[in-house]
């Protein structure tokens, strides 16, 4: 179908617009062997639609500092250079706050007496499995209570195999660091939205992110008949391709609720997804 490997991210700005529904349905419409990265590590859901048999579980972590109190002189240099207030010197004692640490290594670099070593601290896991349609599903899962999703996504991207013809990335909602980590170095981003004021507002933000990252975008409009025209006007004014429109149907909502993909609920969508993929490829690899 196409020669060079391609990475397509499905993102949205607003949550609950149907990212995972679109990403999994696209995956199931394509020839076997797609690599699917569930980068929504705070709330991953793709496995509910792709039914994987998990084969492997790998810890995802960041490095955090540990201080050798025998060597430490409590000079405070580490405290001074840490931008995240994760290492603090109080009354000759060095305290490390793991959950604030970004694992950047500035403290161990600056320490004049080499009192700081680094240990791996797990903050999540990466799971790999074989799923429907021969899909390789790789899922990141942030541990409960851990604040930083981005390092788990970085780990997840490293676990992905290079050279697979088609990789689909399922992004988290929003526009901040985890979304940027997911979209960056993709070849294309599908933005899923709905024609409501919330959908439009958050689409604008997501388009802003993708444009700053220089990733081409197209729009899928879910619940296309549920709102008003302003989304369509915006897409026209901004020259955004509308890749697909899906109506608001109780049947789709009910099927989705029980873990059915769009092509399971409405088989005629398979061809629409293949057309969409061809259109995307035609745009980025003419």
Partner 1 sequence: MTDNKSQTPKQLTIISGKGGTGKTTFTAAFAQLTKDKVMADCDVDAADLHLVLTPKIQKTEAFFGGRSPVVDLAHCTKCGVCTELCRYDAIHDGVVDAFACDNCGLCAHACPEKIITMEDVQSGDWFVSDTRFGPMVHAKLGIAEENSGKLVTMVRKEAMALAKEKALPWVIVDGPPGIGCPVTAALAGVSKVLIVTEPSLSGIHDMERVLALTEHFQIPAQVCINKYDIHLENTKQIETYCQQKGIEVVGKVPFHRGVIDAMVQGKTVIEREVPEVTPEIKRLWERVMGSGLHS
CA distances from 114 to 69, 73, 210 (A): 11, 10, 42
Region of 38-46, 131-139, 233-241, 270-278 interacting with partner 1 (CB under 8 A): 38-46
For residue 106, the minimal CB distance to partner 1 (Å) is: 4
- Within positions 89 to 108, which residues make up the interface with partner 1, using CB under 8 A? 102-106
Nearer to partner 1, 89 or 110 (CB): 110
For residue 54, the minimal CB distance to partner 1 (Å) is: 15
Asked if residue 212 binds partner 1 (CB under 8 A), the reply is yes
Separation between Cα atoms, residue 125 and residue 127, nearest integer Å: 6
Asked if residue 25 binds partner 1 (CB under 8 A), the reply is no
Kindly state the DSSP code that residue 229 receives in the 8-state scheme. S
Separation between Cα atoms, residue 153 and residue 145, nearest integer Å: 16
Asked if residue 174 binds partner 1 (CB under 8 A), the reply is yes
Kindly state the DSSP code that residue 3 receives in the 8-state scheme. S
Alpha helices in 115-196 (DSSP H): 150-159, 177-183
For residue 105, the minimal CB distance to partner 1 (Å) is: 6
Site string for partner 1, 127-166 (x = CB under 8 A): ---------------x-xxxxxx-----------------
Asked if residue 52 binds partner 1 (CB under 8 A), the reply is no
- Strand ranges for 35-77 from DSSP E: 35-38, 53-67
- Within positions 221 to 240, which residues make up the interface with partner 1, using CB under 8 A? 223, 226-228
**Phi then psi dihedrals of residue 252, to 5 deg:** -70, -45
At residue 214, the 3 state secondary structure works out as coil
CA angle in degrees (0–180, nearest 5) for 108-153-61 = 40
Asked if residue 84 binds partner 1 (CB under 8 A), the reply is yes
For residue 24, the minimal CB distance to partner 1 (Å) is: 11
Tokens of 77: 């240099």
- Strand ranges for 48-194 from DSSP E: 53-67, 87-90, 93-96, 116-131, 135-142, 166-170, 188-193
Asked if residue 197 binds partner 1 (CB under 8 A), the reply is yes
User: Residues interacting with partner 1, by CB under 8 A?
Assistant: 12-17, 20, 40, 42-43, 45, 48, 81, 83-84, 102-106, 109-110, 142, 144-149, 172-180, 184, 196-198, 201-202, 205, 208-209, 212-213, 223, 226-228, 248, 250, 253-254, 256-259
């Amino acid at each position: 179908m196409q020669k060079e490997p391609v990475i397509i991210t499905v993102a949205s700005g607003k949550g609950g617009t149907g990212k995972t529904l679109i990403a999994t349905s696209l995956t199931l419409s394509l020839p076997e062997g797609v690599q699917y990265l569930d980068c929504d590590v705070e709330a991953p859901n793709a496995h509910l639609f792709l039914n994987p048999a998990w084969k492997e579980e790998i810890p995802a972590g960041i490095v955090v500092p540990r201080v050798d109190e025998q060597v430490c002189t409590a000079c405070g240099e580490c405290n001074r250079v840490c931008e995240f207030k994760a290492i603090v010197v109080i009354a000759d004692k060095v305290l490390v706050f793991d959950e604030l640490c970004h694992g950047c290594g500035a403290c161990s670099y600056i320490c004049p007496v080499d009192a700081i070593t680094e240990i791996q601290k797990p903050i999540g896991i990466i799971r790999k499995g074989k799923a429907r349609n021969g899909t390789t599903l790789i899922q990141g899962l942030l541990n409960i209570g851990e604040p930083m999703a981005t390092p788990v996504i970085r780990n997840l991207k490293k676990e992905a195999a290079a050279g697979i013809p088609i990789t689909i990335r399922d992004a988290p909602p929003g526009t901040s660091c985890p979304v940027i980590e997911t979209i960056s170095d993709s070849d294309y981003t599908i933005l899923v939205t709905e024609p409501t004021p919330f959908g439009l507002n958050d689409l604008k933000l997501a388009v802003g992110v993708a444009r700053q990252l220089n990733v081409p975008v197209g729009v899928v409009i879910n619940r296309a008949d549920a709102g008003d025209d302003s989304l369509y006007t915006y897409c026209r004014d901004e020259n955004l391709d509308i890749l697909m429109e899906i109506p608001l149907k109780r049947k789709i909502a009910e099927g989705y609720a029980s873990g059915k993909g769009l092509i399971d609920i409405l088989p005629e969508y398979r061809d629409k997804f293949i057309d969409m993929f061809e259109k995307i490829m035609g745009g980025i690899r003419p």
